[in-house]
Amino acid sequence: MPLRLLKYGLSRRYPVRGDLPPTPDLRPAYDVVIVGGGGHGLACAYYLSRYHGIRSVAVLEKGWLAGGNTARNTTTIRSNYITPEGIAFYREGVQLFEEMSRELDFNVMFSQRGQLTLAHSEATLRSFHLRAEMGRHLGTRIEVVDTKGVEALAPLLHMDYGGALEIVGGLWHADGGTARHDAVAWGYASQAARRGVELHQRTEVLAFERVGERIGAVLTNRGRIGCGNVLIACGGMNYPVALKAGVELPIRNFPLQAMVTQPLKPFLHNLVSSVSLHTYLVQTDRGEVVIGGGSDPYQLYSTRSTLDMKEHLAAGAVHLFPFLKSVQLTRQWAGITDMTPDYSPIMGASPVENLWLDCGWGTWGFKATPVAGKRMAETIATGRVPAILKPFALARFGSFRLLNEMGATAASH
Ligand SMILES: Cc1cc2nc3c(=O)[nH]c(=O)nc-3n(C[C@H](O)[C@H](O)[C@H](O)COP(=O)(O)OP(=O)(O)OC[C@H]3O[C@@H](n4cnc5c(N)ncnc54)[C@H](O)[C@@H]3O)c2cc1C
């Protein structure tokens, strides 16, 4: 290292200024307390401070910012869902990602490279036609492609012609893509902090103090805080945290695992996912291949990785790209996902007057970070749930108006 650079680095005249301020002391009260410093909580804080002039906001994070599922996800962004309500919501999410680097003045490395979902049977292909019709009608870029189309999009894919898992076509979603998950969280965090939002790391919410139908105060490991409104955005811990406020959510927790290979030369431009193999792959800008699939088949609050899931994902990946058999895995990890019965989130009001929910994000919530943050901020600021969020109300489980997205989220998030 040149001596001049070292002197510059050590000089007191050029102190290091991080993008994020250190955790301040807690104030006695805030207009809005956000429980959970993942992407969703941070995005909501940003939109509150920037577009609604609400700056008395505390984000309480029991660990470090974005250390939950935000930092563990495989970053698939897409809007090729099944229900009209789901498509409209996630489409707005994709649009916000398209503008995000400019909006946050922070490069979130959004890469709109498209997603290809493979069909290994005529029945799957028929369901893809339905999704394509619905998606096109609602303004997403989506179409069914035949085998020639699949080969053109992923030339190194093993088509298994004549085999048991022959690829008979695919669903091509040109709007799909990825973004750098940490950058999304840091971008929202730094822009929110710049507008006066307080980011409290290592601040765990232990209980809520009820005053009649409202939450009067939030009790943390660092003290008691009075609050105007409270938002729960705790990822895998949504169920136990909401329960502390007296709200039982229809959520069950399952681990979700993923893994990554050593870096390889670029061979896969798009995201590729197989419904039948329950496996999806995406090659990162660094060349690593990120491989993911479905959740573990049992409920658990644990982030351990398992050999059986590694074998399952490796088998799926090698079936699709046989040359991956000689590639080394460098990491495997897991997150705790909060699954709802219909594979759609729960957003909006709770039975407690000033308590709002941004929960049930299961295996698919990274792509919704901007739209959930924006729309929950609007909800809290105005006290009214916007039309785009209404179908995702907790009350839908009582009136059997479920939004079944299982077929769209189970294998490729
Ligand atoms: C392996 C894996 C792959 C995935 N892949 C995708 C994908 O490709 N695309 C996609 O869209 N989604 C994906 N997801 C889902 C996605 O990661 C989540 O839905 C999303 O990150 C949820 O964001 P969040 O901000 O709500 O939660 P989180 O990022 O989990 O943040 C919640 C925060 O709340 C904090 N917290 C919890 N309890 C308390 C408390 N008592 N007090 C204070 N703070 C608390 C936690 O520490 C955590 O930091 C994947 C998830 C996993 C695990």
Q: Is 233 in the same domain as 269?
A: no
Number of H helices, E strands in the chain: 11, 16
Q: Is 40 in the same domain as 52?
A: yes
Residue 6 placed within a domain: no
> What is the extent of the structural domain holding 149?
113-176+253-339
| Pairwise CA distance, residues 241 & 251, whole Å | 12
**At a CB cut-off of 8 Å and minimum separation 6, what does 163 contact?**
none
Q: Is 234 in the same domain as 261?
A: no
Residue 12 placed within a domain: no
Residue 19 placed within a domain: no
Q: Is 329 in the same domain as 200?
A: no
Q: Is 289 in the same domain as 168?
A: yes
| Pairwise CA distance, residues 129 & 135, whole Å | 10
Question: What's the domain count of the chain?
Answer: 2
pLDDT tens for the chain, residues 1 to 413: 678 888 888 888 877 667 799 999 999 999 999 999 999 999 999 999 999 999 999 999 999 999 999 999 999 999 999 999 999 999 999 999 999 999 999 999 999 999 999 999 999 999 999 999 999 999 999 999 999 999 999 999 999 999 999 999 999 999 999 999 999 999 999 999 999 999 999 999 999 999 999 999 999 999 999 999 999 999 999 999 999 999 999 999 999 999 999 999 999 999 999 989 999 999 999 999 999 999 999 999 999 999 999 999 999 999 999 999 999 999 999 999 999 999 999 999 999 999 999 999 999 999 999 999 999 999 999 999 999 999 999 999 999 999 999 988 867 78
Residue nearest to atom 2 of ligand 1 (CA): 73
Q: Is 232 in the same domain as 380?
A: yes
Q: Is 335 in the pocket of ligand 1 (CB under 6 A)?
A: yes
Residue nearest to atom 41 of ligand 1 (CA): 205
CATH of the domain at 391: 3.50.50.60
Residue 156 placed within a domain: yes
Q: Is 235 in the pocket of ligand 1 (CB under 6 A)?
A: yes
Ligand 1 center to 6 CA (angstroms): 39
Residue 367 placed within a domain: yes
Ligand 1 center to 236 CA (angstroms): 6
Q: Is 42 in the same domain as 149?
A: no
Residue 41 placed within a domain: yes
Q: Is 237 in the pocket of ligand 1 (CB under 6 A)?
A: yes
CATH of the domain at 325: 3.30.9.10
Ligand 1 center to 365 CA (angstroms): 7
Residue 261 placed within a domain: yes
Q: Is 171 in the same domain as 261?
A: yes
Q: Is 329 in the same domain as 186?
A: no
Query: What's the confidence (pLDDT) of residue 1?
Result: 64
Query: What's the confidence (pLDDT) of residue 408?
Result: 87
Nearest 10 degrees: Cα torsion 173, 261, 363, 83: 10
**At a CB cut-off of 8 Å and minimum separation 6, what does 400 contact?**
none
Residue 69 placed within a domain: yes
